[in-house]
Amino acid sequence: MKIIYYWSKLLKKLRGSAIRNSFVHKTSKIESGSSIVNSNMDRYSFCGYNCEIIDSNIGSFCSIANGVVIGGSMHPTNWVSMSPVFYNEKDSIKKKFSTFSKAAHKRTTIGHDVWIGQNVLIKQGVNIGTGSVIGMGSVVTKDVSPYSIVAGNPSKFIRNRFDDEIIKKLLSSNWWLLEDEKLNECGEYFSSPVDFLKYIEK
């Protein structure tokens, strides 16, 4: 059974990832089966297996679970037809009856230190605030405020991770911009926001 397990893990890894017109920081990781197009991912972030990320900016220290879709394409609902045979983008169907231009894709922004749970769908153009949590299976169609927890379909606000004062100070600290050397120094305080902020304020 162990051999089968390791063999299946190897096959999963061998699929590789598809990255096009994108920047992924050297400290970040894209797992196999994931597709990243026209997007940027900053330092120490990762996305799991079988993700699809399009036209998105992803900050530092983000944790994106398996099966997440960010910034997927939209169809023109105000036209006679929404089928891709009437617009000028490459799609599953090759036939074209006309080649109208769709509205430009809206850029999706994921802040820093965001945790996105498994099988989350995030609509294009949405802004996900720094420090926020998106519960697994959520469908996000509206902006999410920093350090908030949302979940559901459609996603709804559950609660803030911290009180307003701590959130304000964490955002002001810009800790995600600290160099690795500085993060090594203050890493021992990361389990306590209060202690961390005291250290930073010194």
pLDDT in tens, 30-69: 999 999 999 999 999 999 999 999 999 999 999 999 999 9
pLDDT of 7 > 60? The answer is: no
pLDDT of 22 > 70? The answer is: yes
Q: Find the DSSP H helices in the chain.
A: 2-14, 164-173, 180-186, 193-201
Q: Find the DSSP H helices in 106-192.
A: 164-173, 180-186
Report how far residue 191's alpha carbon sits from residue 200's, in angstroms, rounded to the nearest whole number: 14
The partner residues of 36 in beta bridges, in order of sequence, read 19, 53
Average pLDDT of 5-11?
A: 60
The partner residues of 163 in beta bridges, in order of sequence, read none
> In this predicted structure, what is the pLDDT of residue 1?
64
User: Where along the chain do its domains lie?
Assistant: 13-71+106-161, 162-202
Catalytic one of 25, 75, 105, 112: 75
Q: What b/e sequence results for 18-55 when a residue is b if at least 16 CB atoms lie within 10 Å of its CB, and e otherwise?
A: ebeebebeeebebbebbbbbebebbbbbbbbbbbbbbb
Report how far residue 88's alpha carbon sits from residue 123's, in angstroms, rounded to the nearest whole number: 22
Do the Cβ atoms of 128 and 142 come closer than 8 Å?
no
What's the pTM value of the predicted model, to 2 decimals?
Answer: 0.89
Active site residue 105: no
In tens, the pLDDT along 103-158 reads: 888 999 999 999 999 999 999 999 999 999 999 999 999 999 999 999 999 999 99
Listed in sequence order, the residues at least 6 apart from 109 whose beta carbon sits closer than 8 Å to its beta carbon are 56, 57, 126, 127, 128
Q: What's the burial of 104, exposed, middle or buried (CB within 10 Å: 0-12/13-18/19+)?
A: exposed
| Number of Cβ atoms within 10 Å of the Cβ of 176 | 20
Nearest to 176 by CA among 2, 16, 44, 3: 44
CATH number 2.40.50.100 is the correct assignment for the domain at 13-71+106-161:
no
